[in-house]
């Protein structure tokens, strides 16, 4: 019989209501039952977590990040996107060896979990994707690795190598860890990719029931590059290539025309909104309220630590709501419930759903008193309030402690290693 964990005496954040005091039973990898008040006497468990003063919510989907950039925090300051990429990020990524990747991504996984994410989409730009996938499998994290690539310009790879690598990743990793590990096709940006490789790689992903995940329309400069070359805006060009669909994720989508918004809606594509990265790099403000109103699905993400400096999904919800209000001059734009919806993706507390759960301590001077749970989660709760994180019924962080590694030792190793990396890349 599968292991049963009972979490009780906490607020339960359900899809359509909040139970101020309730209980939830985890059976094996899934949510078995929940209810209001105290657990009925017939509910038995192998493990009980008393959670008074806590809120239990579904873990978030951090829909786009580059975790290897934990070693590059702070490098975004004062540079526009392309200059930032060319003069700092690409140099550092090229200098990373397998051990750098292992440590930087481990640090990133710990940080992302602490930030409330139980499912992470890693748009993986450096070598050694196997190192990252093995870490996710070993730690028990839910991770989609979008194999990043460019077949044109700086750092271009030959198309055949990209496709062979994707085929191998799909064969070896897609669906491993009881479905926790997934592979995606990750072209880096329209102006860095050829039409042919885009089409072939997207078709390959489709064959495996996987998505294509790409930075789109992030800056006005990038939109102009695609217009100059193809006479079409980036979303229009991808649509002409047959890539737009339910299995397409357009990361950023800051500068969209009316026609592009219409196509995203018609093709049922997803936009991944990264509010902090768009502000830090001064890229602009994605029209999230308009996209949602026009029927485009929007998810939320931190983006990499080099263009955010953090992986806190609570902070992203807070920033997303404030940014939309400034953008639309409407104080009701993107309410807290809507921000949570974007951050959860399809994750909900419901019987039969994967037990991907987060417990936050709300007993703090920053959060109490709580009048509106959704507002408290978006505007008051932060990464430091996350105490317990469970993925597929397995505790990864409990009472603030990471259970799958020695965090103090990891921090010491990362400090040392990142210092050497900067020196090797000539950037210190």
117: closest CA among 179, 60, 183, 40? Answer: 60
Minimum distance, C-beta of residue 69 to Zn ion, in the bound complex (Å): 9
Minimum distance, C-beta of residue 374 to Zn ion, in the bound complex (Å): 28
Minimum distance, C-beta of residue 307 to Zn ion, in the bound complex (Å): 7
Nearer to Zn ion, 187 or 354 (CB): 187
Measure the CA dihedral 365/371/373/374, to 10°: -110
Structure tokens at 392: 């597929």
Q: By the 8 A CB rule, do 112 and 69 touch?
A: no
Minimum distance, C-beta of residue 401 to Zn ion, in the bound complex (Å): 30
Minimum distance, C-beta of residue 304 to Zn ion, in the bound complex (Å): 6
Q: By the 8 A CB rule, do 149 and 119 touch?
A: no
| Rounded-to-integer distance, Cα 110 and Cα 217, Å | 30
Minimum distance, C-beta of residue 243 to Zn ion, in the bound complex (Å): 18
Minimum distance, C-beta of residue 280 to Zn ion, in the bound complex (Å): 12
| CB within 8 Å of 366: residues ≥ 6 apart | 380, 382
Nearer to Zn ion, 260 or 303 (CB): 303
Q: By the 8 A CB rule, do 404 and 396 touch?
A: yes
Nearer to Zn ion, 189 or 421 (CB): 189
| CB within 8 Å of 181: residues ≥ 6 apart | 133, 136, 137, 142, 143, 144, 145, 173, 174, 175
| CB within 8 Å of 392: residues ≥ 6 apart | 29, 140, 142, 178, 180, 354, 355, 356
- In this chain, which residue has its C-beta nearest to Zn ion? 303
Q: Applying CB under 5 A, which residues contact Zn ion?
A: 303
Q: At what angle do helices 159-173 and 129-139 cross, to 10 degrees?
A: 20
């Amino acid at each position: 019989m599968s292991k049963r964990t009972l979490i009780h005496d906490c607020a339960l954040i359900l899809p359509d209501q909040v139970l101020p005091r309730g209980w939830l039973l985890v059976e094996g990898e899934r949510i078995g039952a929940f209810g209001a008040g105290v657990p009925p006497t017939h509910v038995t468990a192998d493990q009980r977590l008393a959670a008074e003063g806590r809120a239990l919510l579904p873990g978030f989907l951090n829909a786009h990040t580059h975790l290897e950039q934990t070693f590059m925090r702070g490098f975004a300051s004062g540079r526009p996107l392309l200059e930032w990429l060319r003069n700092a990020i690409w140099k550092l990524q090229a200098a990373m060896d397998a051990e750098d990747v292992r440590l930087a991504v481990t640090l990133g996984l710990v940080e992302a979990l602490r930030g409330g994410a139980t499912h992470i989409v890693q748009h993986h730009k450096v070598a050694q994707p196997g190192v990252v996938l093995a870490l996710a499998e070993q730690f028990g994290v839910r991770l989609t690795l979008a194999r990043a690539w460019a077949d044109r310009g700086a750092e271009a790879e030959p198309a055949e190598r990209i496709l062979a690598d994707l085929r191998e990743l799909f064969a070896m990793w897609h669906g491993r860890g009881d479905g926790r590990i997934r592979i995606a096709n990750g072209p880096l940006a329209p102006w860095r990719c050829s039409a042919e490789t885009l089409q072939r790689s997207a078709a390959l992903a489709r064959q495996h029931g996987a998505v294509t995940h790409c930075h789109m329309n992030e800056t006005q400069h990038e939109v102009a590059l695609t217009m100059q070359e193809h006479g079409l805006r980036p979303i229009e060009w991808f649509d002409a290539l047959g890539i737009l669909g339910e299995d397409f994720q357009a990361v950023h989508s800051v500068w969209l025309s009316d026609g592009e918004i219409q196509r995203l809606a018609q093709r049922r594509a997803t936009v991944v909104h990264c509010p902090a990265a768009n502000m830090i790099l001064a890229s602009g403000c994605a029209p999230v309220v308009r996209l949602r109103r026009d029927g485009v699905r929007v998810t939320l993400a931190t983006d990499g630590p080099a263009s955010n400096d953090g992986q806190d999904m609570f902070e992203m919800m807070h920033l997303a709501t404030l940014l939309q209000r400034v953008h639309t001059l409407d104080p009701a734009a993107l309410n807290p419930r809507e921000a949570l919806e974007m951050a959860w993706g399809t994750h909900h507390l419901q019987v039969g759903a994967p037990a991907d759960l987060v417990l936050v301590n709300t007993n703090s001077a920053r959060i109490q008193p709580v009048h509106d749970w959704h507002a408290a989660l978006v505007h008051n709760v932060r990464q430091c309030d996350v105490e317990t994180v469970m993925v597929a019924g397995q505790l990864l962080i409990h009472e603030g402690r990471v259970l799958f590694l020695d965090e103090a030792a990891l921090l010491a190793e990362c400090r040392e290693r990142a210092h050497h990396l900067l020196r090797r890349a000539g950037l210190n």
